[in-house]
Structure 1
Amino acid sequence: MKKISFFLVLLGAMLWGTTGTAQHFAPEGAHPIAVGTMRLAVGGSVLFLLVLFRRKQKVTDWPVKAIVLAAVAMAAYQPLFFSAVATTGVAIGTVIGIGSAPILTGFIEWVAFKRRPDRQWWLATVLSIIGCVLLFSTQGDIELDPIGFLMAIGAGLSFSGYTLVNKQIVQKMPSEMAVGVVFTLSAILLSPFLFIYDISWVLEPSGILVVLQLGIVATAIAYLLFVKGLMGVPASSAVTLSLAEPLTAALLGVIVVGEVLTPSAVVGIVMIFLGLAVLFYTPPTRSSNYGK
């Protein structure tokens, strides 16, 4: 059962990895934050419809505080991550934004929930993060902007918070309903961006296809799989598994977009694979404190 949960989280992360390729085919002039907002708007709408068709559950039974926290965290992640990438570059923004999340999640679990990560998790996380650094180290000029750095850390913390809070939510309500309610609320919180940025590109054929792919596949289906798998794995392990996202993005860039990988990027891909393999196949040691 645990292997199935790991696989669901991994598959969800791989679907997130299609985001970059989809954005490559977006019409010219589509602002990244506007794309991210439309992604949540479509994904939230699809998930809301799913909630309507689910069995009824009393609103009084919902963990309202946790739902609001998860929605705020997910809504904050979109502008923080895209702004960090725009400010400090793709390489630094992506590595810090995505790579900091596993470390932050493991630290919070350790301090707040007294769940000390085991050696398996540390090895997998270190291998995967080093792999991410190598994968993005040759993409553009490396320029560490302090504001961009803080926004990237904020993005990592937002995703970490979303995952940790969702771990609590799925224990009290069906995973499908949990994702639907959280993303519907997140979409509402981000809706003001639709009045700030030009979204006329959505009416173009390529714009419609990109938004549908991002909203349905890379958001609704991806997060349903992620949250479903989250029920059977520690939050810190789930966030480490999410590093399959940049791995998938890199491979799709080569296969679909025609990008060329540098030798260091190839080594990075291998290291991410090794990190995920350690987390997926190695059984936890008896000294692990998860669940205690």
Structure 2
Amino acid sequence: MKQTWGPILILLAAFLWGTTGTAQTFAPENAHPIAIGAARLAVGGISLLLIVLLLGKLNMKNWPIKETLVASISMAIFQPLFFSAVTITGVAIGTVITIGSAPILSGILEWIFLKKSPSKVWRYSTGLSIVGCLLLSLNKGSVHVDPYGILMALGAGLAFAFYALVSRKLIENHSSLSVVAVVFTLSAIFLSPFLFIYDMSWMMEFSGVAVTLHLGIVTTGIAYLLFAKGLATVPSSTAVTLSLGEPLTAAIFGVFILKEKLDFTSWIGISMLLLGIALLIGFPRKKEPLAHTVGS
């Protein structure tokens, strides 16, 4: 039963991540993308940590320091790289390269560090999903191909892949809630200098408060908690492929909320994305034993 729910939880996380772009359109004009990312981690990390402390679930005994640092640094690196890539090369290309490269990089990391060869189902699903993302991105009116932006997007994809790989190790012996709380609190600390570098006055406006709370609590705290719980029974490479539901959600929200129009090619891309995700859910890899999973 737990294995069945794993992919569903990750898809729910991807759905919440997919609301990020729509939410950002409601932020004040003077809100810098990197400042939004830093505020997002600060709100998400602190709120999760407070919940863990109030519930008394923070047990630091035998806590894996090295893995925690890698996960925290990976997520701290992901934020500025991703938002910078989107700023430089455009939302379409920046998002597609970041989200599309993550499953491939995750599979390579599993092969290098865990000596696990990706399954045929994973390969077919990842291929379909990435092509779907590319077709979906062609709907955008303009495409900006900038070498630096592409490198930043690839760096963000690699950072997310590292986060997924290491987080699965962390939740073997600790609750998903405590792991996400500790990792994101540390990530917020690492990114805290950006809160003093950029103008943060936009957070005093009503729209700024609403966007920050949504991004921090919903798309960070709740979403990454769901992702961590899903990782308890799903390989990191499969989990990252399932996260391709994020651009799918973003496209749907763009149509129904932002009144954007999708052409025929984009709808084909959506269909391929759905087929790729359905393959992973319909033909899951055999359950991999974990040493011990708490609170999942």
Other-structure match for 1:105? 106
Query: 1:289, CA displacement in angstroms?
Result: 11
Is the Cα–Cα contact under 8 Å of residues 73 and 161 in structure 1 kept in the other structure? yes
Is the Cα–Cα contact under 8 Å of residues 54 and 177 in structure 1 kept in the other structure? no
Other-structure match for 1:7? 8
Secondary structure of the corresponding residue to residue 35 of structure 1: helix
Query: 1:90, CA displacement in angstroms?
Result: 1.9
Query: 1:283, CA displacement in angstroms?
Result: 4.3
Other-structure match for 1:260? 261
Specify whether residues 58 and 22 from structure 1 end up closer, same or farther in structure 2 by C-alpha distance, changes over 3 A only.
Answer: closer
Other-structure match for 1:184? 185
Query: 1:85, CA displacement in angstroms?
Result: 1.2
Other-structure match for 1:245? 246
Other-structure match for 1:141? 142
Q: Which amino acid aligns with 1:168?
A: K
Unaligned runs of 5+ in 1: none
Specify whether residues 160 and 231 from structure 1 end up closer, same or farther in structure 2 by C-alpha distance, changes over 3 A only.
Answer: same
Other-structure match for 1:87? 88
Specify whether residues 39 and 106 from structure 1 end up closer, same or farther in structure 2 by C-alpha distance, changes over 3 A only.
Answer: same
Q: Which amino acid aligns with 2:52?
A: V
How many angstroms apart in 2 are the aligned matches of 1:143 and 1:61? Answer: 47
Is the Cα–Cα contact under 8 Å of residues 37 and 78 in structure 1 kept in the other structure? yes
Is the Cα–Cα contact under 8 Å of residues 171 and 231 in structure 1 kept in the other structure? yes
Q: Which amino acid aligns with 1:114?
A: K
Is the Cα–Cα contact under 8 Å of residues 109 and 116 in structure 1 kept in the other structure? yes
Secondary structure of the corresponding residue to residue 118 of structure 2: coil
Calculate the TM-score normalised by the size of structure 1: 0.95
Query: 1:290, CA displacement in angstroms?
Result: 6.4
Unaligned runs of 5+ in 2: 290-296
How many angstroms apart in 2 are the aligned matches of 1:55 and 1:204? Answer: 34
Secondary structure of the corresponding residue to residue 48 of structure 2: helix
Is the Cα–Cα contact under 8 Å of residues 175 and 227 in structure 1 kept in the other structure? yes
List, as ranges, runs of 4+ consecutive aligned residues in structure 1 with deviation greater than 3 Å: 54-58, 288-291
Other-structure match for 1:220? 221
Query: 1:57, CA displacement in angstroms?
Result: 5.0
Calculate the TM-score normalised by the size of structure 2: 0.94
> What value does the CA root-mean-square deviation take over the aligned residues?
1.6
Other-structure match for 2:206? 205
| Percentage of identical aligned residues | 56
How many angstroms apart in 1 are the aligned matches of 2:34 and 2:141? Answer: 21
How many angstroms apart in 2 are the aligned matches of 1:24 and 1:249? Answer: 12
Query: 1:27, CA displacement in angstroms?
Result: 1.3
Is the Cα–Cα contact under 8 Å of residues 9 and 241 in structure 1 kept in the other structure? yes
Q: Which amino acid aligns with 2:11?
A: L
Other-structure match for 1:31? 32
Report the number of matched residues.
289
Other-structure match for 2:294? none
Q: Deviations over 1:110-160 (max 9, x none)?
A: 122111111111111011111110111232433322211111110000000
Query: 1:170, CA displacement in angstroms?
Result: 0.4
Asked if 1:72 corresponds to 2:73, the answer is: yes
Q: Which stretch of structure 1 is more off in the superposition, 135-144 or 261-270?
A: 135-144
How many angstroms apart in 1 are the aligned matches of 2:191 and 2:272? Answer: 36
How many angstroms apart in 2 are the aligned matches of 1:21 and 1:100? Answer: 22
How many angstroms apart in 2 are the aligned matches of 1:96 and 1:290? Answer: 29
How many angstroms apart in 1 are the aligned matches of 2:155 and 2:284? Answer: 32
Q: Which amino acid aligns with 1:10?
A: L
Is the Cα–Cα contact under 8 Å of residues 115 and 290 in structure 1 kept in the other structure? no
Specify whether residues 111 and 263 from structure 1 end up closer, same or farther in structure 2 by C-alpha distance, changes over 3 A only.
Answer: same
Asked if 1:17 corresponds to 2:18, the answer is: yes
Specify whether residues 38 and 214 from structure 1 end up closer, same or farther in structure 2 by C-alpha distance, changes over 3 A only.
Answer: same
How many angstroms apart in 2 are the aligned matches of 1:58 and 1:289? Answer: 27
Specify whether residues 145 and 289 from structure 1 end up closer, same or farther in structure 2 by C-alpha distance, changes over 3 A only.
Answer: farther
